[in-house]
Amino acid sequence: MRQERSARHQSTANGLAPLSLADIHVAYATKGGMVQAVRGVTLDLLGGESLALIGESGSGKTTLGLSIVRLLASTARITRGTITYRRGEQQIDVLRLKPPALRRFRWSECAIVFQSALNSFNPVVRIWEQVWDTAAAHGWKDRPAVRRRALELLRFVQLDPDRVINAYAHELSGGMRQRVLIALALLLNPQILILDEPTTALDILTQRSIIIMLRRLKEEQKFTMMFISHDLAVAAELADRVATMYAGKVVELGPVNDIFYQPRHPYTLGLIRAVPTVTGGFEELASIRGNPPNLVHLPSGCKFHPRCPFATSRCKTEEPELEAVGPDHFAACWNWRDVAAEVEARPVHAAATLQTAVEMPADQVERAM
Ligand SMILES: Nc1ncnc2c1ncn2[C@@H]1O[C@H](COP(=O)(O)OP(=O)(O)OP(=O)(O)O)[C@@H](O)[C@H]1O
Ligand code: SF4
Ligand SMILES: [Mg+2]
């Protein structure tokens, strides 16, 4: 598997991102009006990187992930924008793919592990049959080869392959099912893996063991991954870059340490300061005041202004776009310099806290695996 991956990565080492989103807008038609779930997201996913999308519930993270693989609900429309997928010299306009090519794209190029997919296994079918169905649906006819690949992947995700391949889903714990889902997503050797809340439904020890496994995937295989998570600890542990989403927009984007130590958007700062410390630090626990906006009737100007402690009159009328606030670091805020001054005056030590929060004694983690 490693050889196959490195060949793929050579093929994308031409400097172009394997995935580029440009000005993506997604809306859901509802009785109450159009829910503007994603509003103009422009984002590159770089070869071999892991990018975390963070933000409160309802900020549009899942909608953005599902747009990439075009698995949105039937009431959703991508109303504007382009999604470009690249492999080597090949360039694919994802939003124009016809059904057979789209199916191929979803498993062979860009696989997704859904939020709450843990309960989506068919309870009366063994894991092997589910693997085989997936492989066969993509034209793979060589049963022994599929089985070998499945066993190899199950071993990679640190499961006992011979036991798990013959098991029914109900015989597996939540953590084991999550590993099987990740193995299944890797079956057709995709270039990109999107993981929507990969640890959310799991207990803390199981979360930890999944994080360790994903870190191996990232470090050993140099996989290109997008994590969607409202859990900042997952982002701190796994991401090279972090994008904060608010009301359907990316409002801050940058290297993981810049985001957690030097946030420049008041919303990111609020998210970080709302994380309780478990290490005995003295970070003040504060929550972000107010509620997420109504996505049918959005506020004027900057969508965060009704909740923002840094808001000024301009914020009520003009919506800021992302601008450079440091090398490879961008924020959409008129007053990011004030945020910088605040962070200077009262430093955040979130990343250390978050990373320590998921450190656990190795023997406990072993037991959770
Ligand atoms: N099928 C749907 N029909 C109508 N509105 C929807 C649908 N799916 C999502 N939405 C709305 O779109 C917005 C974005 O939802 P989305 O699920 O993308 O957010 P999220 O950031 O993934 O949240 P969470 O952290 O809770 O998973 C929300 O306001 C949500 O209510
Ligand atoms: S633009 Fe204004 S309201 Fe928006 S985040 Fe910045 S300071 Fe707050
Ligand atoms: Mg979601």
DSSP 296-327: SSPPSSSTTGGG-TT--GGGGT-PPPPEEEET
> Would the pLDDT of 368 be above 70?
no
CA 62 / ligand 1 centre spacing (Å): 7
Q: By the 8 A CB rule, do 283 and 349 touch?
A: yes
Domains of the chain, residue spans: 262-357
Average of per-residue pLDDT across 69-87: 96
72 lines ligand 2 (CB under 6 A): no
Nearest CA to ligand 1 atom 27: 57
CA 296 / ligand 1 centre spacing (Å): 12
> Would the pLDDT of 357 be above 60?
no
Report the C-alpha gap between 60 and 39 in whole angstroms: 9
| Residue range 7-22, pLDDT digits in tens | 333 334 446 899 999 9
Res. 350 pLDDT band, cuts 50 70 90: low
- Using CB distances shorter than 6 Å, the residues near ligand 1 are 28, 30, 35, 37, 55, 57-63, 73, 75, 115, 230, 295
The predicted structure's pLDDT at residue 281:
47
Strands (E), 213-342: 224-228, 241-246, 249-255, 323-326, 329-331
Considering the chain, what percentage of its residues have pLDDT values greater than 90?
63
Question: Counting ligands in written order, which one lies closest to the CA of residue 53?
Answer: 1
Lowest mean pLDDT among 167-171, 323-327, 329-333: 167-171
Q: Which of 115, 116, 66 is nearest to 94 (CA)?
A: 66
Average of per-residue pLDDT across 164-193: 92
Report the C-alpha gap between 270 and 245 in whole angstroms: 13
Q: By the 8 A CB rule, do 225 and 51 touch?
A: yes
Q: What DSSP designation does 168 have?
A: B
Is the pLDDT higher at 58 or at 216?
58
Give the orientation angle of helix 143-156 with respect to helix 127-137, to 10 degrees: 120
Q: Tokens for 40? A: 């103009």
The predicted structure's pLDDT at residue 74:
97
Nearest CA to ligand 2 atom 1: 333
Is the pLDDT higher at 364 or at 122?
122
> Would the pLDDT of 123 be above 90?
no
pTM to 2 decimal places: 0.90
Q: Hey, which of 302, 307, 321, 323 would you mutate to test ligand 2's pocket, going by the most ligand atoms within 8 Å of its Cβ?
A: 302
Q: Hey, which of 26, 28, 66 would you mutate to test ligand 1's pocket, going by the most ligand atoms within 8 Å of its Cβ?
A: 28
Q: What residues are neighbours of ligand 3 (ion), with CB under 5 Å?
A: 62, 115
Res. 239 pLDDT band, cuts 50 70 90: very high
CA 225 / ligand 3 centre spacing (Å): 16
Q: Would you call 61 helix, strand, or coil by DSSP? A: helix
Considering the chain, what percentage of its residues have pLDDT values greater than 70?
87
Q: Hey, which of 26, 56, 62 would you mutate to test ligand 1's pocket, going by the most ligand atoms within 8 Å of its Cβ?
A: 62
> Would the pLDDT of 6 be above 50?
no
Nearest CA to ligand 1 atom 22: 62
If 0-12 CB within 10 Å is exposed, 13-18 middle and 19+ buried, where does residue 226 land?
buried
Res. 51 pLDDT band, cuts 50 70 90: very high
Average of per-residue pLDDT across 46-56: 95
- What's the start-to-end Cα distance of the chain, in Å? 22
Question: Counting ligands in written order, which one lies closest to the CA of residue 249?
Answer: 1
Atom index in ligand 1 nearest the CA of residue 295 equals: 29
Name, in order, each residue with C-beta under 8 angstroms of 212's C-beta and a sequence gap of 6 or more.
365
> Would the pLDDT of 301 be above 80?
yes
Is the pLDDT higher at 364 or at 287?
287
Report the C-alpha gap between 182 and 124 in whole angstroms: 20
302 lines ligand 2 (CB under 6 A): yes
Question: Counting ligands in written order, which one lies closest to the CA of residue 38?
Answer: 1
Find where tokens 């410390």 sit: 277
Is the pLDDT higher at 64 or at 14?
64
121 lines ligand 2 (CB under 6 A): no
Average of per-residue pLDDT across 321-348: 96
List phi, psi (to 5°) of 111: -95, 150
Is the pLDDT higher at 152 or at 361?
152
> Would the pLDDT of 348 be above 60?
yes
Estimate to the nearest angstrom the gap between the alpha carbon of 192 and the chain centroid.
11
Lowest mean pLDDT among 39-43, 122-126, 157-161, 163-167: 122-126
305 lines ligand 2 (CB under 6 A): yes
> Would the pLDDT of 282 be above 50?
no
What torsion do the CA atoms of 350, 353, 357, 358 make, to the nearest 10 degrees?
70
